[in-house]
């Protein structure tokens, strides 16, 4: 080891939540200029540990050194001042503002945005430097999820971060975008940044990390292991605590009648640019149709026209009934379930409880909806049953959706949609946030 101090040295960190020991005596170090992966299953305590480093969460015990100096963060502002930037699983951008406005948000300078063009240019220069291509003048709501992620990264770089924490960054990216993202990470390291890469995907960790720390149920099972000479199998074992089978046998499907019939459909995206051109496809019952493409190439728009969330030309029938350009209730009546790409805004209501999110689609039907009233005992019972069945990790069914980890929120949505026994399931990146 050289004499350069560690960029990050977290030692004996313990973090307790009511009923959960999220981090149990955790050690974690980050050397300057390395990519260190933090690997673990959903709920292992990865986000909690890094929220602490980002000043969002105070540890119950333990200490943190940055560049050899002891720190005690009282707020994210303190962490930013120490050069730490975190890109969260759930983005924190203002949809109606531009990229540049979001990047400047909360900064002292400029007090009055007199010459926004000057700042657009600064953002453009920074973006070019790291290959994070995004239009500084675009509004956030017009951007794909992958582009929004670049804005979050630019935001931390603009504030001078040299220690970057990326919480499950690839979860929102299509396979083709991931390679580009990995290049960005490498170019940031080449320019002197140090990176903590949080993931539950072994393959990605193997592809990018210099070292890896594995967490299982709040405890470290591998501390700062070099990636050289550690096998994927061994890592999987450390992660889940047992042997993992990677191959799944899949039998041939038993295919029936046409359920979904899309004919000559065209639609525009949020920017008013054509996103779907004359798309036709059929799906029969028992069939799984995969739609591939880089995010931003029409997949979400296709899902939205089928579920009645976006107008289009052409016709879409489910079980023979036209659902295109109809309210979403028409598609729901035909048994269409939707697992959207944007779980936080479209798929769930963050400020409602798990129970309320689960009954959201069926609250007006028996046994839960009884005329004018909602039977809350029955609703709670259903939520309890689904929480058990889908292993949703939460203190109780009255927990607010926004308090859940990405994977657990996804399980709430899956539970709700699958429990309606849908005839057609439209799933956009359904495995986002779930384990192997
Ligand atoms: N603010 C919180 N309040 C209560 N429990 C929490 C809170 N944040 C996380 N947890 C719990 O702590 C554990 C670790 O969660 P988290 O750090 O999000 O895991 P990971 O990021 O590895 O998926 C989970 O059981 C989670 O439910
Ligand atoms: Mg997490």
Distance 333 CA to ligand 2 centre (A): 35
β-pairing verdict for 35-39 and 211-216: parallel
- Please report the sign of the dihedral spanned by the C-alpha atoms of residue 41, residue 43, residue 44, residue 50: positive
- Whether residue 255 is predicted with pLDDT greater than 80 in this model: the reply is no
The stretch 162-176 carries a mean pLDDT of 91
Cβ proximity of 377 and 324 under 8 Å: no
Select 8-240's CATH number: 3.40.50.300, 3.40.50.720, 1.10.3720.10, 3.30.479.30: 3.40.50.300
Q: Please indicate whether residue 223 or residue 335 has the higher confidence score (pLDDT).
A: 223
- Whether residue 78 is predicted with pLDDT greater than 80 in this model: the reply is yes
pLDDT at position 292, please? 66
DSSP state of 195: E
Distance CA 121, CA 124 (A): 5
Q: Which CATH superfamily is domain 342-436 in?
A: P-loop containing nucleotide triphosphate hydrolases (3.40.50.300)
pLDDT at position 36, please? 98
Tokens standing for 28? 């974690």
- Find the residues whose C-beta lies inside 6 A of ligand 1: 17, 20, 22, 40, 42-48, 393, 403, 405
**pLDDT tens-digit series, residues 239-250:** 988 776 666 566
The angle that helices 376-389 and 406-419 make with each other, rounded to 10 degrees, is: 120
Q: H-helix or E-strand containing 152?
A: helix 145-158
Q: What does pLDDT average to over the chain?
A: 87
Distance 20 CA to ligand 1 centre (A): 8
Cα–Cα nearest to 428, from 420, 436, 417: 417
**pLDDT tens-digit series, residues 389-402:** 888 888 889 888 88
The stretch 53-69 carries a mean pLDDT of 96
Cβ proximity of 335 and 419 under 8 Å: no
Tokens standing for 142? 């017009």
Tokens standing for 258? 């046409």
CATH topology for 251-334 is Rossmann fold (3.40.50)
Angle at 199 between CA 67 and CA 160, to 5 degrees: 35
3-class DSSP state for residue 13? strand
Residue from 13, 14, 20, 169 to probe ligand 1 pocket by mutation (most atoms less than 8 Å from CB): 20
β-pairing verdict for 321-322 and 313-318: antiparallel
3-class DSSP state for residue 375? coil
Distance 296 CA to ligand 1 centre (A): 31
CA distances in angstroms from 358 to 86, 103, 182, 342, listed in the order given: 31, 35, 36, 17
Angle at 130 between CA 125 and CA 133, to 5 degrees: 70
Distance CA 76, CA 79 (A): 5
Tokens standing for 300? 């979400």
Q: What are the domain boundaries of the chain?
A: 8-240, 251-334, 342-436
Distance CA 27, CA 304 (A): 45
| Closest approach atom of ligand 1 to CA 405 | 18
pLDDT at position 77, please? 93
Q: Do domains 8-240 and 342-436 have the same CATH topology?
A: yes
Cα–Cα nearest to 164, from 30, 9, 13: 30
Q: Ligand 1, atom 9: nearest CA belongs to which residue?
A: 48
Distance CA 207, CA 121 (A): 33
Angle at 80 between CA 30 and CA 26, to 5 degrees: 35
- Whether residue 341 is predicted with pLDDT greater than 60 in this model: the reply is yes
Count of alpha carbons within 13 angstroms of residue 153, beta-carbon side: 29
DSSP state of 83: T
Distance 228 CA to ligand 1 centre (A): 30
One DSSP character per residue, 274-339 reads EEEEEEEEEEETT--------TTSSHHHHHHHHTTSS--EEEEEETTEE-TTS-HHHHHHTTEEEE
**pLDDT tens-digit series, residues 280-290:** 888 888 777 77
Residue from 166, 220, 405 to probe ligand 1 pocket by mutation (most atoms less than 8 Å from CB): 405
């Amino acid at each position: 080891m050289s004499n350069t101090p560690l960029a990050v040295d977290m030692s004996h960190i313990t973090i307790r939540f009511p009923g959960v020991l999220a981090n149990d005596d955790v050690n974690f170090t980050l050397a300057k200029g390395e990519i260190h992966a933090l690997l673990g299953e959903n709920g292992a305590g990865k986000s909690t540990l890094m929220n602490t480093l980002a000043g969002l969460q105070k540890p119950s015990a333990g200490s943190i050194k940055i560049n050899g100096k002891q720190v005690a963060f009282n707020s994210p502002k303190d962490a930013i001042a120490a050069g730490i930037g975190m890109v969260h699983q759930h983005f924190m951008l203002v949809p109606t503002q531009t990229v540049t406005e979001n990047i400047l948000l909360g900064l002292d300078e400029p007090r009055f945005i007199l010459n926004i063009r000057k700042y657009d240019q600064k953002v453009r220069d920074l973006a070019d430097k790291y290959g994070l291509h995004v239009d500084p003048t675009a509004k956030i709501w017009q951007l794909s999820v992958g582009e929004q992620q670049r804005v979050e990264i630019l935001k931390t770089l603009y504030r001078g971060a040299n220690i970057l924490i990326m919480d499950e960054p690839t979860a929102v990216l299509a396979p083709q975008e991931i390679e580009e993202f990995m290049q960005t990470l490498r170019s940031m390291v080449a320019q002197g940044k140090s990176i903590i890469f949080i993931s539950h995907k072994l393959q990605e960790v193997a592809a990018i990390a210099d070292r890896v720390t594995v967490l299982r149920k709040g405890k470290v099972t591998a501390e700062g292991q070099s990636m050289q000479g550690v096998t994927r199998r061994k890592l999987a074992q450390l992660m889940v605590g047992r042997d993992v089978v990677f191959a799944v046998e899949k039998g041939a499907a038993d295919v029936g009648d046409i359920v979904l019939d899309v004919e000559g459909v065209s639609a525009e995206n949020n920017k008013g640019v054509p996103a779907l051109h004359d798309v036709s496809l059929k799906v029969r019952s028992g069939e799984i149709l995969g739609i591939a493409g880089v995010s931003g190439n029409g997949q979400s728009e296709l899902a939205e026209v089928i579920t009645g969330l976006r107008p289009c030309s052409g016709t879409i029938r489910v079980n023979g009934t036209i659902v295109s350009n109809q309210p979403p209730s028409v598609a729901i009546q035909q048994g269409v379930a939707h697992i959207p790409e944007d779980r936080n805004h479209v798929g769930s209501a963050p400020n409602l409880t798990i129970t309320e999110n689960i009954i959201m689609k069926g609250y007006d039907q028996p046994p839960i909806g009884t005329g004018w009233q909602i039977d809350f005992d029955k609703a709670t019972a259903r939520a309890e049953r689904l929480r058990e069945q889908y292993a949703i990790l939460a203190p109780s069914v009255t927990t607010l959706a926004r308090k859940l980890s990405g994977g657990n929120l996804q399980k709430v949505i899956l539970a709700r949609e699958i429990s309606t026994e849908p005839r057609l399931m439209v799933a956009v990146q359904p495995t986002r946030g779930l384990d192997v």
